[in-house]
A = this chain, B = another copy of it.
């Protein structure tokens, strides 16, 4: 039974089949080119701005209520800071502190006074100045995953992360310009010694891509090492003081506790004027109340304390308000990713960040799926859409997230890159102008014709629409003929192709050597000694 039979029978199919009449062969378009997907690695680097107003899910009353709840939490319950220096900073600034109990009860005036000193926007500098990014306002920066323990791909299977994996993933970050930002922890290089791994990771990140990167932030030694290593390329520590060149992620040990490692990192980054993304991670029902409003109130309290601390240390230091509240799956105890509750939390948290006039950090590719399947994709979209609508300035965990964050998947990375690129194209919008309204051509074609060969089409067809990276447009029979590959299998081919075409953005030889020397010196100094917070 052929399509033609159905054309007689189903109005809808008949309509759809109109475009199957040609396939029209455009000039200079070989048969081979007609079905291929985009070589996305040649897309230009450009920072994204949202043309849309952010979506407010909280009424002004509800927003005030959540803010007030956060203040009450801090005033009544307080927050634990497992670091003497952090406690001392709060004490000296006039907050209520019990050093023995390691707890702080900042009141609202104190807290908001400190928070108000943080900038609403800052520039994060890349070694290639054309790839520096603004974080704040209506700007949106996409970054890949970070912090994963395993890597997985269709080439070599699932395994603990290695330096080779990290380097490959860094190369992929460099290849795809929809990723504006890199990460030194795309996967943990577990084949390297734990005490000095941060030096290798951050150096690799700085060498293999010329985009902005993040550094390790676990404890003073590690944070200092990463900052000094990168500062080497910007004229040294003094030149890089208060010039954002390295971003650190500071997680909270929710509920209501910052540990010594994270506080050491926070203090070190803030003192150097390097941006921290202060991010409580709350699975509602586990590390916070099972009600999302309560979890958000707690997240808000936790985040504001870290943000205030950065401003007590270095007023005006760049800092991001981070959100990572999701729901715990109460039948298994695991956090759930890419859920309606997580989406709502993102939207509410974004609104709070705007209320405090702070740059907002959210997440892009969250999912609980263990494979790059339909669930992985719809959950990713259930993270990414709210991130965009919340006008997330720094979309972290934006490509490669798998297995609830335990693992970086190469195939998922490519699929996520497609999702990010589609979102960019959508935000880019469609021009409304005399040219794009095309009335003369609508009139020329008239009723019942087609637009394949108008001058309007011929002058635009090669660049008219979003060109997919991994999505197929092949009709069923052609797709079967091409091997019946699903999106994950095509993604496998795509990352292999991208790595094959990767060209290292050569670092200045002198800078490279100075960084190498610094890393070697620090490795020797650290040796086998245990790191401290």
Contact B147 A10 (CB under 8 A): yes
Query: Contact partner of A433 among B11, B293, B462, B472, CB < 8 A?
Result: B293
Interface pair B370/A479, CB less than 8 Å apart: yes
Asked whether A403 lies within 8 Å of B450 as measured between CB atoms, the reply is no
Q: How many copies does the complex hold?
A: 2
Stretch at the interface among A18-26, A239-247, A517-525: A18-26
Contact indicator A443/B290 (Cβ below 8 Å): no
Closest B residue by C-beta to A189: B9
Chain B binder among A85-93, A224-232, A422-430, A505-513? A422-430
Q: Interface size class for chain A?
A: 35 or more
With CB as the reference atom, state the residue of chain B lying closest to A427: B340
Other-chain contact of A19, B20, B253, B334 (Cβ < 8 Å): B334
Q: Assess the A69–B439 pair: CB atoms within 8 A.
A: yes
Q: Is A497 an interface residue (CB 8 A)?
A: no
Residue A436 lies at the interface, judged by CB distance under 8 Å to chain B = yes
The distance from the CB of A191 to the nearest CB of chain B, in whole angstroms, is 11
A334 to B5 CA separation, bound complex (whole angstroms) = 19
**B interface footprint on A455-499 (CB within 8 Å = 1, 0 otherwise):** 011001110111010111111101110001011100100000000
B190, A438: Cβ atoms under 8 Å? no
Instruction: Find chain B residues with CB under 8 A from A333 CB.
Output: 19-24, 452
Q: Name which of A19, A218, A404, A407 has the most chain B CB atoms within 10 A of its CB.
A: A19
List the 4 closest pairs (A to B, CB-CB), nearest first: A12-B147, A381-B381, A23-B333, A294-B438
Contact present for B294 and A436 (CB under 8 Å): yes
Nearest residue (CB) in B for A102 is B447
A257 at the binding interface (Cβ < 8 Å): yes
Residues of B within 8 A of A468 (CB): 339
Given A330-B461, A374-B374, the answer on whether A451 and B289 have CB atoms closer than 8 Å is yes
Provide the residues of chain B in CB contact with A442, threshold 8 Å.
73, 77, 255-256, 288-289, 294, 297-298
Question: Of all chain B residues, which has the CB nearest A79?
Answer: B447
State whether A378 touches B377 (Cβ < 8 A).
Answer: yes
Q: A293-B437, A373-B377 are in contact. List 7 more A-B contacts (CB 8 A).
A: A11-B261, A12-B185, A19-B328, A65-B437, A285-B452, A330-B465, A341-B430
**Complex: A335 Cα to B474 Cα, angstroms:** 10
The 8 Å CB contact of A16, one of B297, B335, B447, B461, is: B335
Partner of A486, one of B197, B335, B374: B374
B378 touches A378 (CB 8 A): yes
> Cβ of A76 < 8 Å from any Cβ of B?
yes
Q: Are B375 and A471 in contact (CB under 8 A)?
A: yes
Q: What are 29 contact pairs spanning A and B, CB under 8 A?
A: A9-B149, A11-B147, A13-B188, A15-B281, A16-B281, A19-B328, A19-B335, A20-B334, A66-B437, A77-B446, A103-B447, A255-B450, A256-B446, A285-B461, A287-B451, A290-B451, A297-B437, A331-B473, A339-B468, A340-B423, A340-B425, A340-B428, A341-B430, A341-B466, A368-B471, A369-B487, A371-B486, A373-B374, A385-B385
